Every structure is written in C-alpha cells, then in structure tokens.
Amino acid sequence: MSANAPHLRIGTRGSALALAQSGWIAGELSRLHPGLTVEFVTITTKGDRILDRALSQVGGKGLFVTEIENALLAGEIDLAVHSLKDVPTEQPPGLILAAFPPREDPRDVLVSRNDRRLADLPPGAVIATSSLRRTAQLRHARPDLQFTPIRGNVDTRIRKMRLGQADAVVLAAAGLIRLGRTEWIAEHLDPDVCLPAAGQGILCLEARADDGATRELLAGLDCRDSRICAEAERHVIAALGGSCQVPMGVLAEANDGTLRIRAMVSDLQGDKLLRTSGDTPEAVVAQLREMGADELLGRN
C-alpha cells in the first residue's frame, strides 16, 4: 500500500447485507482519510454455500469467516469486514480484530404477516428461525408456538415467510437497519425475552497483525464502548466453552463507565433456561455455572 495514495482491498461476503456493511465501512474510512481508494473483493464462504441445513448441523464455528481470513493471511485482501457474531472467539495466528465501529441495535426483531407482535400470534403459529438460541428462548416464552428452520439472506427469509412457510421470522435488528428495511419490523424483542447472540449488532474489522499501515487507517473507526462490550460478550462465550449446538445469548451494555452483562444458557427445548446478569464476565460465568450451566453445556 502506497503511503501517498492509500488503497485498501476489503474482503466481504456477497450478500446484500454484507455488501451494505462493507460499503458503510468504506464510506467511513474515506471520510476519515480523504484520497483513500477502496476495492471490494467478494468471497464465498462455506456458510454461504450450505443452505439446506441449519448451521448448528454443519459445525457453526467460522462458517462465514474462514475463507475470508485465509484470503487475508494470503495477502489477497487488506482487511475483512465481519459481523462479530459470526467470528470465533479465537483468532488465527497472524490476524487481529483491529477495530469495532459503533454498535447498531443489538436486539432481535419479529417480522410477521399482518405485523403481529409475539404476544398477538395465535396458538400454533409458526415462527421461522434456524437459531437454537432464538428457538429456545421464544419457545420458553410461548410454548404453544411452532418453529421451523429457515436459511438464506434476509430477503429470502422474509419472502418464504410471506409465501406461507411461516407466520413470522426472527431477524437481527441491525441487519434490517443497515439494509434500510426497518418498516418490515413488527416488534423489537425485549432482551429479557430473547437475548441476542454475543456480538450481535457489532461489526469488526480484521487485519493482519503485522500490517501497521492498515491498522493505523482503521484505528479511527474503533469505538471504545463497542470494544468493551464485544470483549465482555466474547469472554463469557469463551469461558463457558459455548458452541453452536447449545443455545446461548449474552448482551453487554456500557453506560457512563459501568458495564451490565446479561447472559443465558438453555436446553434445546427451552424448558431449562438459565438467565443471570452481572458487571463482569467472570461474575456472570460463575453465576451461570452455579445455576447448572455446565450440565446444559454437556460437561456433567
């Protein structure tokens, strides 16, 4: 990269949401660094190719990032833009999460036919989601509802729902906001009902650890509160040894120097659902273990 005319190759998935997120990052970097030029490199990941099975059935960890990280390590791109919730808690050697821009709304939302809210769905209504975390929590709140798996990008999921495959679909608020589709939202789900995935709503910019020039360009996009919350949420997941086969949610909120962390672990049916909160990741993990989280996580 020339110091006189900086040029960045941004690795991104090819979905409309991924491209919107990468485009926003490019715009912010161009605003911070006039004269910067940006090139998008679209990379197809394993998670993009496998659409006939739930992610929990094909491994989950790194399904949307591994190919992009390989391109980064190979020097084919200069940075990767990820949704943090897709990024495993352990980084490959040689890579670093260089910046966490300001967080978007972390909540889950309900998109439904006739704009019905969760409480207004009739008994037996079908909610489409392939997330074990969302299914367990919503089943706990409404055991009378039915759930069906769904894959694909945001438009695909909503189209399937509207064509009659389900009465409602659960999505991340951040994705609809970034796509400019907030009018589709029937309800923002209270985190006390449906706690989001760790890192939901946070973008992260990954770079090579030895690429000082790129890291310097990205530094201006790093938000202190986003980083604090991201690291706290990922600490909880890593300490519990969470996997995509166990429903887990965690949300950290930083306000005026204080940190509030809410976390949950559940069995697949939502019958035994553990919730707690605290001001440090260590406290939250200890409380969940005291409540029996290790049994749910398969460590009897």
Q: Which residues are known catalytic residues?
A: 86
Which residues, at least 6 apart from 106, have a Cβ–Cβ distance to it below 8 Å?
Answer: 172, 173, 174, 191, 196, 200, 201, 202, 251
DSSP characters over 156-200: HHHHHIIIII-SEEEEEHHHHHHTT-GGG-SEEPPTTTSPPPTTT
Angstrom distance (rounded) from CA 131 to CA 46: 17
Return the closest-CA partner of residue 86 out of 31, 15, 4.
Answer: 15
- What is residue 8's DSSP assignment? E
C-beta pairs of 58-67 under 8 Å, 24+ apart in sequence: 59/244, 60/243, 60/244, 60/245, 61/88, 61/243, 61/244, 62/87, 62/88, 64/13, 67/43
Angstrom distance (rounded) from CA 35 to CA 4: 9
R_g over Cα of the chain: 19
Q: Integer distance in angstroms from the first to the last C-alpha of the chain?
A: 52
Angstrom distance (rounded) from CA 219 to CA 231: 17
Angstrom distance (rounded) from CA 131 to CA 139: 12
Contact criterion met (CB below 8 Å) for 233 and 261: yes
Return the closest-CA partner of residue 40 out of 79, 89, 90.
Answer: 79
